[in-house]
Amino acid sequence: MTTERWALGGDLSVARIGYGAMKLTGWPRGDRPARETALAILRRAVELGVNHIDTSHYYSRDGVAANELIREALHPYPDDLVIVTKVGALVEGSDLALPAAEMTGLTPGGLRRGVEANLRSLGVDRLDVVNLRMGDLDRSTTSLAAPLETLLALREEGLIRHLGVSNVSAAELAEARAIAPIACVQNLYNLSRRDDDPLVDACAEAGIAYVPYFPVGGFQPITAERLDAVAARHGASVPQVALAWLLARSPNILAIPGTGSLAHLEENVAAGELRLSPEDLAALRT
């Protein structure tokens, strides 16, 4: 995999291609791999040099939970493994079906429950990074200030090392940075969804990691003739080109592609060695 790294939070050195654990559970919808395959994927990822795993306690469906798979596969954890989790309006995976008025995860009690659930299910005393995920409730009536202040207090208790934010605007990031040090931003961004271009650059200038979710399109994979042409030139797959483009886009981008396939895991990690030419990048900008 690529030897390029980023100091997440200033002190956690992570490879720029990580792994997103959501697809191991089939949450919130979709297929999932067999349990033994999921465990094998996690172990193989670490063997390949992945040391940044993205997860959440609420990535859980029908008794299959991402954090528990991570713990079974990898605990005791390698010294350099960084596990990033998130809390927000959802506490349990099934909360996704609740009316917004019944989602209590952004209250002080809900946030503590979420943090403690992650600590317990991962089997750790302190979480490396916790992202405050916004966006599951009406944004016009939901501010990140109070929830972030709650997480800052939990950080001061020693339960969290670094804080991040997810599904935020540039204005909300500025508000967050006035409250607490922010290690990372996790938003929707990929080759075909570039609304966050200015925010990527702003994060880079501030030394903040930008972690795009759905880096290869998520539930709607990226397709474009120009992608096919670049992939053909390199003998690579379209997802590999999409990942290589993200790495070339800015040095603060950390990709966390998720997969339930060992073969796709190998492909994703190998994308870290794919170097796109100026001509490739020009073609992909159009």
Contact status, residue 237 vs residue 226, Cβ threshold 8 Å: no
DSSP string, 58-123: T-EETTEEHHHHHHHHHPSPPTT-EEEEEEES-SSGGGGGS-GGG--TTSHHHHHHHHHHHHHHHT
Q: Which domains does the chain have, with CATH numbers?
A: 5-220+252-259 (3.20.20.100)
Task: Walk along the chain (286 residues) and give the pLDDT tens digit of each residue.
Answer: 556 899 999 999 999 999 999 999 999 999 999 999 999 999 999 999 999 999 999 999 999 999 999 999 999 999 999 999 999 999 999 999 898 888 989 999 999 999 999 999 999 999 999 999 998 776 666 789 999 999 999 999 999 999 999 999 999 999 999 999 999 999 999 999 999 999 999 999 999 999 999 999 877 777 778 889 999 999 999 999 999 999 999 999 999 999 999 999 999 999 999 999 999 999 998 6
Contact status, residue 4 vs residue 242, Cβ threshold 8 Å: no
What pLDDT does residue 13 have?
98
34, 36, 63, 69, 238 from 40: Cα distances, Å: 10, 6, 19, 10, 24
What pLDDT does residue 67 have?
98
Q: Of residues 19, 58, 59, 77, which has the active-site annotation? A: 59
Q: Which stretch of DSSP H or E encloses residue 133?
A: strand 127-133
Instruction: Using alpha carbons, select from 24, 119, 111 the residue that is nearest to residue 62.
Output: 24
Whether residue 59 lies in the annotated active site:
yes
Place of tokens 């759905």: 214
Q: DSSP state, 193?
A: B
The whole model's pTM is what? 0.95
Strands 209-210 and 52-54: unpaired
Contact status, residue 57 vs residue 114, Cβ threshold 8 Å: yes
What pLDDT does residue 142 have?
77
What pLDDT does residue 100 have?
84
Q: DSSP state, 125?
A: S
What pLDDT does residue 139 have?
63
Contact status, residue 271 vs residue 231, Cβ threshold 8 Å: no
User: In angstroms, what is the C-alpha Rg of the chain?
Assistant: 18
What pLDDT does residue 218 have?
78
What pLDDT does residue 225 have?
80
Strand order in the sheet with 160-166: 19-20, 52-54, 82-88, 127-133, 160-166, 184-186, 209-210
